[in-house]
Chain A
Amino acid sequence: MRLVLLIFSFCDWLQRTPVASYMRASFWAFPLVESLHILCGNVPLLVATSILSARLAGWGLREVPVSKLARGLLPWAWTGFLIQVITGLLLFSSAAAKYASTRIFPLKMLLILLAGTNALIFMRTTYRRVAAWDTAEVPPLGARFAGVVSLLLWSSVLVMGRVLNSAVSLVVAAHLWFAR
């Protein structure tokens, strides 16, 4: 209960900041940040994690060593993630309490947390012994599992983002309709 209060007082503070007011008032700010959230965040993050996931699952790029692929792709995934967090926070700030009060928002955050946990567990266990299976066409079960789970989780995060947008638009539309 205290946590909920804390979250909503944070949201209340956040949506009163000048940045949040600007996000609401400007015609271009929200759609531009939204586009960057997709272009510079979603695209590199999802492309990098999907390619690595496909290799881990044994579906493609079988001739490329896993560690070489990971070294090439992970910086793109991290850059994408960082941009997602920054642009996501800007979008969220515009109507923080409204976003936080939807059922979708906590679900999206939970899915991101799960995707992170999945990657962390994989890096700490199966990937520790990558030297033993680096060039294997089909990686061990732990890696295949982590790959498929990552693909499913990051795809679900994208879906939740879209649903969140629709959910908040519906709330805003309803408010406008009742305010007529």
Chain B
Amino acid sequence: MPDFLSWCQWLESTPMSATLRDSLWLFPAIETVHLFGIVALVGSTSILDLRLMGFTLAGTPVPKLARRVLPWAWLGFGIQAATGFFLFAAEASRVYLNPAFRFKMLMLVAAGLNALLFHVMTSRSAAQWEGRSTTPMSAKIAGLSSLALWFAIVIAGRMIAYFE
């Protein structure tokens, strides 16, 4: 087990982290970009999730929608990872010990696994999906899990500010 806590202490002692803490506007500015990242990431994945669950866009084939939506999801994820790192760096050891942060990271891993599992499961049968408006039960479950996980991730993210 690597010593994450001492790495966190080193990280928050860097001049970069000190700048993040000392500036009045830098932290809220990065938080704002993080918020735009949520809109891109959660917005694009939710469109796909709702389609998988059969709630919307029945006329658009799932693979076509996925091709349109996933670049935005990845863009959003990139923004989230980059801005999230800076937000973390400002108070690394406090955040590392924060229960909401730990829950968030766990849910992030679960969301990643859910997406990976669904991708592996469906990529083989993608040809059969083309032109079909209804989705199989596995797709409905994957969509619902993804939606629930991203909601949990955003709520947990907000809770980091409220837990000591």
Question: Which residues of A are in contact with B by a Cβ distance under 8 Å?
Answer: 27, 30-32, 34-35, 38-39, 42-44, 46-47, 50, 72, 155, 158-159, 162-163, 165-166
Contact = CB atoms under 8 A, between A and B. Distances in A.
B95 to A, nearest CB: 16
A124 B46 CA distance: 31
Contacts of A38: 35, 38, 154, 158
A42 B31 CA distance: 15
Contacts of A39: 42, 151, 154-155
A31 B39 contact: no
Contacts of B151: 35, 39
Contacts of B28: 162-163, 165-166
A50 B158 CA distance: 24
28 contacts: A30-B162, A31-B155, A31-B158, A31-B159, A31-B162, A35-B151, A35-B155, A38-B38, A38-B154, A38-B158, A39-B42, A39-B151, A39-B154, A42-B39, A43-B46, A47-B39, A47-B44, A155-B36, A158-B32, A162-B28, A162-B31, A162-B32, A162-B35, A163-B28, A163-B32, A165-B28, A166-B28, A166-B31
Query: Which of B28, B36, B39, B44 lies at the interface centre, i.e. has the most chain A CB atoms within 10 A of its CB?
Result: B39
Interface of B: 28, 31-32, 35-36, 38-39, 42-44, 46-47, 57, 151, 154-155, 158-159, 161-162
A166 B28 CA distance: 7
Given A38-B38, A39-B154, A159-B32, 5 more contacts: A31-B161, A42-B35, A50-B39, A162-B28, A163-B32
Secondary structure of the A contact surface, majority rule:
helix
Which of A31, A44, A159 neighbours the largest number of chain B CB atoms within 10 Å of its CB? A31
B27 to A, nearest CB: 8
B36 A158 contact: yes
A105 to B, nearest CB: 16
A35 B32 contact: no
A32 B155 contact: yes
A32 B158 CA distance: 8
A35 B153 CA distance: 10
Contacts of B35: 38, 42, 158, 162
A38 B39 CA distance: 8
Contacts of A42: 35, 38-39
A169 to B, nearest CB: 9
A40 to B, nearest CB: 9
Contacts of A44: 43
Contacts of B31: 162, 166
B158 A43 contact: no
Nearest to B39: A46
Nearest to B31: A162
